[in-house]
Amino acid sequence: MTYIPPLKINGIKTKLIPAILHNVQDWDKDGTWVEPFMGSGCVGFNVLPQHMIMNDLNPHLPNFYRWLVGAPLPYIKDRLSTLGAFLAAEGQKYYYRVRSHYNTFHLPEDFLFLNRTCFNGVVRFNRKGEFNTPFCHKPDRFANPAFLTKVMNQIKGFQLRAMDRDWFFTTGNYESCFQNLSSRDFVYCDPPYIGRHTNYYDQWGETEETKLCELLTATQASWMLSTWISCGDRTNPFYEKLWARFHVVRVEHKWKVSGLAKGRGSVTEVLVMSYVPPPKPPEEPKELTNHVRA
């Protein structure tokens, strides 16, 4: 069963986890799992390597998980319950009060609260580095015992996975993650989808996509990259230009986390690999098919 982390992030890879796990099964895990764009962390948290480096240019994401490794569960539950009670009583005014508090003091527990009560799980920061996603208009979120239990179980799941493992959460440019890699390491890249999603922390265009392709081509580590081919009537021109020459696996599904309705819907994503993937596709999702190019 796929583990779902506590932060809801646009672009989370839960739909791709079965395909990713199937296609990294031959990695012996003796080296280090490296993610230059950790996002939600969903992929690494499901692969469960002993040694892992999770990096993101957005400092709020690695900072949160660095804190969560040792954060006391009773404190988190009490904090979320308290914030939830005030939100239920005061509504969006309280949400914006917490958002202002977070942008001043950057408490990870406030970030979690905002993430699960903001509009459609969209993590967005302005040019000043301030979280600016609006309220979701559901004031009873954390006043609902079932919802609070769900989030706490996700937190417990993360802490159990991180226990006795060498996991490091870093902030920096993706290029720094390609230093000192060995043939035993594995790099999974989930960059901002070019032409699909950008914000203050991940301005991403042709220059960045091309540079990433050059770094992956040059590294001696095994690697996998996720990107998109098409969504509705839109296509990704850089797929054919940069990635189609590698080994790929296509996955058809629907995007659900997006700030706009037109950003959600049927999408064709692809896993690009530096190696020949296993011959048999995973049983789930059923729409998954292998597609290999030389």
Do 251 and 206 share a domain, yes or no?
A: yes
Identify whether 285 is preceded by a cis peptide bond (ω within 30 of 0): yes
Do 72 and 131 share a domain, yes or no?
A: yes
Q: What is the pTM of this model?
A: 0.89
Q: Domain containing 18: what range?
A: 14-57+172-292
The reported pLDDT for the residue numbered 196 is 64
The reported pLDDT for the residue numbered 193 is 86
| CATH number for position 73 | 1.10.1020.10
Q: What is the rounded distance in angstroms from the CA atom of residue 271 to the CA atom of residue 248? A: 5
First and final CA of the chain: distance in angstroms? Answer: 32
Do 53 and 177 share a domain, yes or no?
A: yes
Among residues 98, 129, 160, the one where a domain terminates is: 160
Query: How many domains are contained in the chain?
Result: 2
Do 101 and 188 share a domain, yes or no?
A: no
Average pLDDT value for the chain: 90
Do 205 and 177 share a domain, yes or no?
A: yes
How far from 106 is each of 75, 179, 235, 277, 292, CA to CA, in Å? Answer: 17, 30, 38, 42, 45
Among residues 111, 139, 160, the one where a domain terminates is: 160
- 52 near 165, Cβ under 8 Å? yes
Do 85 and 127 share a domain, yes or no?
A: yes
Predicted confidence (pLDDT) at residue 73 exceeds the cutoff of 60: yes
Do 138 and 241 share a domain, yes or no?
A: no
| CATH number for position 213 | 3.40.50.150
The reported pLDDT for the residue numbered 266 is 80
Domain assignment present for residue 258? The answer is: yes
Do 225 and 97 share a domain, yes or no?
A: no
The reported pLDDT for the residue numbered 278 is 85
Name the CA radius of gyration of the chain, rounded: 19
Residues 183-237 have pLDDT tens digits of: 999 999 999 988 765 555 667 889 999 999 999 999 999 999 999 998 877 889 8
Q: Band of the pLDDT at 255, cuts 50, 70, 90? A: low
Do 182 and 259 share a domain, yes or no?
A: yes
